[in-house]
Amino acid sequence: MLKEYGIKELNPGQGRILFALWQKDGVPIHELSKKTQLTKSSLTTMLDRLQNSGFLKREDDENDRRITIVKLSEKSKNLQKKYVDVSKKMTEVFYGTLTEVEIDQFEAYLRRILNNLINAK
């Protein structure tokens, strides 16, 4: 579906990174790792590709040079609307013929499952 919207350069994992940065730009790598639930080694590889493709930039933290801050580029900021459109379309496909009541029930089950997983740690 991304290709239908002219987004050919990104895979879903990279989209997850951009989505997290659209929520809050300019975050340290360790925070981005938590938000995306990607290991730091996987994240670093994806960040390299995104940076080489012009989607983001990395800068040293002003107060602590050991910390690297990840920021969106203009190129990735311009993709946000397309991603929102794709997300809306995907939601329509996922929920298809479900009624509002069924959607609410389904999402309630997912929340319960998530809570079970969180509490199992």
Residues pairing with 56 in the sheet:
72
Give all domains of the chain, ordered by start, each with its CATH number: 3-94 (1.10.10.10)
Q: Contact at 8 Å (CB) between 47 and 18?
A: no
Residue 18 to residue 99: CA distance in whole angstroms:
31
**Ordered per-residue pLDDT tens for the chain, 121 residues:** 667 767 777 888 898 999 999 999 999 999 999 999 899 899 999 999 999 999 999 999 999 989 999 999 999 998 898 888 888 998 999 999 999 999 999 999 999 999 999 898 7
Residue 71 to residue 51: CA distance in whole angstroms:
10
Query: 95 is written with which tokens?
Result: 């929920």
pLDDT at site 2: 66
Query: 59 is written with which tokens?
Result: 């800068």
What's the whole-model pTM score? Answer: 0.75
Q: Contact at 8 Å (CB) between 18 and 55?
A: yes
